[in-house]
Amino acid sequence: MIIMSSDHLKQINDAALADYPNECCGLLAGTGQVGETLQLTRVAASLNMSQDHQRDRFEVDPKLRFDLMRELENTDQRIIGHYHSHPDHPAVPSETDNTMIYEPDLVWLITAVNQDRSVETLAYSPKPDASGFDPLEICLQNPSGDCP
């Protein structure tokens, strides 16, 4: 399970709408490990660095990643995953996503977006053998910080 605030979800949805019809992308920082409860504490938006095919591919800016890793040093936080959007497609891993599993300890959040709205956001954890993804529950924290 990944616990996140509605503000974090709004950041991701806003990025998906702003970058439409291209894929948006970014990093997720927080605590915990895949297979346990993850707590999202920060969303870091990235430019989509994919040279071609930005409509159906994403690449997070390596400088953003290294900068975020440095910021998180000596804290209890780490990069726990990344997010990207699927313009005019469902929030399920694509064939391309399945070929891009390089770090099985990172969560994937995928937001389906149409022209004027985000449709849904779903979470996935890569299978240990990198053969695909397993769904992961998202829990939106209520205003008191609890996860219902």
CATH number reported for the structural domain that contains residue 122 in this entry: 3.40.140.10
- C-alpha angle 26/1/57, rounded to 5°? 30
The span from the CA of 39 to the CA of 33, in Å, is 9
Q: Are strands 107-114 and 78-87 parallel, antiparallel or unpaired?
A: parallel
User: Is 42 a member of any domain?
Assistant: yes
User: Is 17 a member of any domain?
Assistant: yes
pLDDT tens sequence across 77-121: 999 999 999 999 999 999 999 988 888 899 999 999 998 888 899
User: Is 16 a member of any domain?
Assistant: yes
Whether the pTM exceeds 0.85: the reply is yes
Q: Write down the pLDDT at residue 122.
A: 97
Q: Write down the pLDDT at residue 135.
A: 96
Better-scored residue on pLDDT, 50 or 146: 50
Q: Write down the pLDDT at residue 19.
A: 94
The span from the CA of 93 to the CA of 90, in Å, is 8
Domain count, the chain: 1
Q: Write down the pLDDT at residue 123.
A: 97
Q: Are strands 38-46 and 2-4 parallel, antiparallel or unpaired?
A: parallel
For residue 94, how many other CB atoms are within 10 A of its CB?
A: 15
User: Is 61 a member of any domain?
Assistant: yes
For residue 33, what pLDDT band results from cuts at 50, 70 and 90?
confident
Domain that holds residue 30: 2-140
User: Is 147 a member of any domain?
Assistant: no
What percent of the chain shows pLDDT beyond 90? 74
User: Is 123 a member of any domain?
Assistant: yes
The span from the CA of 85 to the CA of 87, in Å, is 6
Q: Is the pLDDT of residue 147 over 90?
A: no
